[in-house]
Amino acid sequence: MNKFRNDFPLFKAIDEKNSVDNSGLVYLDTAATAQRPYIVLNAMTHFYATQNANPLRGLYSLSERATKAYEDARETVAKFINAPSAKEIIFTRNTSEGLNLIANTYGIAHVNAGDEIVISIMEHHSNILPWQYIRDTKGAVLKFMYVDKETGEIPESEYAKITPKTKIVSLTHVSNVLGTTNPIKKIAEIAHKNGAVMVVDGAQSTPHIKVDVQDLGADFFAMSGHKLCGPMGIGAVWGRLELLEAMPPFLRGGEMIEYVTEESATWAEVPHKFEAGTVSAGDAVGMAAAIRYIQSVGLDTITEHDNALAVRLIEGMKKIPHVNIIGNKDGTKRCGIVTFTVDGVHPHDIATLLSEENIAIRAGHHCAQPLGAYLGEPATARASLYFYNTEEEIDALLENVAKLRKWSGFSDR
């Protein structure tokens, strides 16, 4: 897998004044954002250099080429997650905006007082706050499914919280803290039997495992480009066409209308009804290039590599005194995400001390404060791995984690 590191300029970037040297960086924060390969950067540069025009409305060849590039990107996203139609792909800024779009359109229109929304305690804030808003606005009930603290998985007994009163079930596909892959297909079947729709947060799953929205039984699926080696500021929502067509628009303005009078307006067809204003065409092109790159590496290959590194890291951490792994101890069930604490060393200090050794990890609540409160761990350290990481980097992390207590003044013997 080491050959792929050469595709990423950041790992060898040295600026003209030699004030930045990333050649020795151990980057273990991909769950926050992935690095970008040359092919993505070049695709975006090519778009702005040769196709830069406002898509959709310009009746001249340059605008038509920009429109084609943008719509080709939509088609690439659709095929990547096996959406039935590219018309069902709505470009957003990120997963967070996508989940807000779903909540503020489908949720507002279909949830009423006394209805129930079911999520899990492991959700990212982006999949909690929109539903809290719908609860508070519509007088609904928000229910949490809890996880087993040892396995990091939702026990099947928790599925009983999905009832005929449930209108929406919204779950992360892969937890950004525990690395747990939720059984979306099974839960979607229960949701549908009770007349609810299934919303899936795919921010962490799409970079690591194959996603088939039809096989999952999802009704909506949200994802981000920057987790997939694409640019920041671009993401996508997939929704079943009949649901999208019946939903009101999220934002109103240019491009998303068919006709406007002084008194009223009619909306453009899906997906443009949900894409108000000038679209981020260059970023969409970059996201599509990232998807094609990920596909060239191979998601099966990525999954195998991520799991192997996670196993190596977890097994190594088990041998270090005072290190506590949060959640499942089986690296093959972590999607490359390993969260841990060290007795007596605050997670922020862990990240800072490792940074001095040129190792980048994440520390804090990871935008999942309810989960931290439930686990009794308000802050943790997180190493998140990807196909461009190596065994040598895992060993470097382990070597330095073993020194953290000594660096913090403890006299372990």
Nearest to 213 by CA among 251, 246, 186, 240: 240
Q: Is 367 a catalytic residue?
A: yes
CB atoms within 10 A of CB 23: 11
Q: Is the peptide bond before 231 cis (omega within 30 degrees of 0)?
A: no
Nearest to 247 by CA among 79, 90, 378: 90
Nearest to 395 by CA among 308, 312, 336: 312
CB atoms within 10 A of CB 258: 11
Q: How far apart are the C-alpha atoms of 177 and 22, rounded to whole Å?
A: 26
CB atoms within 10 A of CB 150: 9
Question: Any bridge partners for residue 381, and if so which?
Answer: 340, 363
Judged by DSSP in three states, 239 sits in strand
Among residues 39, 142, 257, 367, the one annotated as catalytic is 367
Helices 95-102, 129-138: inter-axial angle, 10-degree rounding: 20
The tokens 């007994």 sit on which residue?
157
Q: In what order do the strands lie in the sheet with 166-172?
A: 89-92, 235-239, 220-224, 197-201, 166-172, 116-120, 141-145
CB atoms within 10 A of CB 168: 26
Nearest to 90 by CA among 74, 104, 106: 74
Tokens of 388: 């461009």
Judged by DSSP in three states, 128 sits in coil
Active site residues: 367
